Amino acid sequence: MIPDHTKANSEPDTPKVDEGWWAAIFSEENSIKPDLEKPKSKITHPPRPSSVDWDQIMYIYERDMIIDLLVKDFNRGGLLVKGGDIHGFVPLSHLVESSSSMTEEERLTFLANYVGKTLKLKVIECVPDQERVVLSERAAQAGEGCRKEIFHSLKTGSIAGGTVTNVTGFGVFVDLGGVEGLIHVSELSWGRVQDPETVLSVGQSTRVLVLSVSERTGRIALSLKRLYNNPWETLSALYNPGDEVPATVTSITRFGVFARLNECIEGLIHISSIPLQNGQKNINQMFSIGELITVRILHINVEHRRLGLGLLDE
């Protein structure tokens, strides 16, 4: 990973990402992860947090060391590992051979096969106050001692390259050469993103803009959309009400159909302007996701980022 310390051409000043932003992320992430104290395997006594040697873990974490830990148990979110007075959690996405395309049954079988094995891991998060120790097999692939170098090389506003390691409903995780950053769903595109997997996929190489870096917390906020000019700033110059343009149907809702223009901006065709054809009971029978249609620009509100579209008269 070679950071490019030049500003992206879309935003001269990158936004500040505060702790509230990250709190929202972890709230969403925790909502899809089960309690670590509810293992799926037959082991009934997972390690107790109170037995953790926090001084030793912090020593390992700060020096970016690789350690060998035994997999004791698992749940649908990942593995419970232990070695001496060190134990913690390895998320599924941080296992080298994990795949986001696995079904629930395949995921549990995949994780169960790790029980009893020893893994080479790095501590990527250590929060004693929350009794939280997160480890990564993927990060260990980069070798020891690279973490601090990577954090020092990443600057707010710089451009870096990485590989997508996990895609979730709230965003995309990108490996930057030994540490992971997060592209929140709101930073994937200037348009509306319903499913992050339509933008990036696991294993894909991508360039990203660094929004914020915190070595203390181990958090790196990234953006994909800010690599490009904000299309809303030029939309009014490109189109006028009444213009007819091609668009792609992206979603069908109870209040209308969203369609994306070539500039990756989505507009709404309100249901009140969609006449049902003979024999059709709802708009789901008229449109399909990905369908190419021609629409008319009705109105453009740059300030509120709203684009009104209409169907062409038959």
Q: Which residue has 């060998």 as its token pair? A: 68
Which CATH architecture describes the domain 232-311? Beta Barrel (2.40)
CA distance 167 to 264: 20
Report the CATH fold assignment for 26-34+44-140. Answer: OB fold (Dihydrolipoamide Acetyltransferase, E2P) (2.40.50)
pLDDT tens digits, one per residue of 33-88? 444 444 444 433 444 445 778 889 988 988 889 999 999 999 988 999 999 888 89
Which CATH number is correct for 154-227, 3.30.465.10, 2.40.50.140, 2.30.30.280, 3.90.1150.10?
2.40.50.140
- The residues spanned by each domain of the chain are 26-34+44-140, 154-227, 232-311
pTM of the model: 0.63
Domains 26-34+44-140 and 232-311 share a fold: yes
Instruction: Give which of 279, 276, 265, 277 is closest to 309, Cα–Cα.
Output: 265
Pairwise CA distance, residues 213 & 208, whole Å: 13
Burial of 163 (0-12, 13-18, 19+ CB in 10 A): middle
pLDDT tens readout for residues 171-227: 998 988 878 899 999 999 887 787 898 889 888 899 999 999 987 777 899 999 999
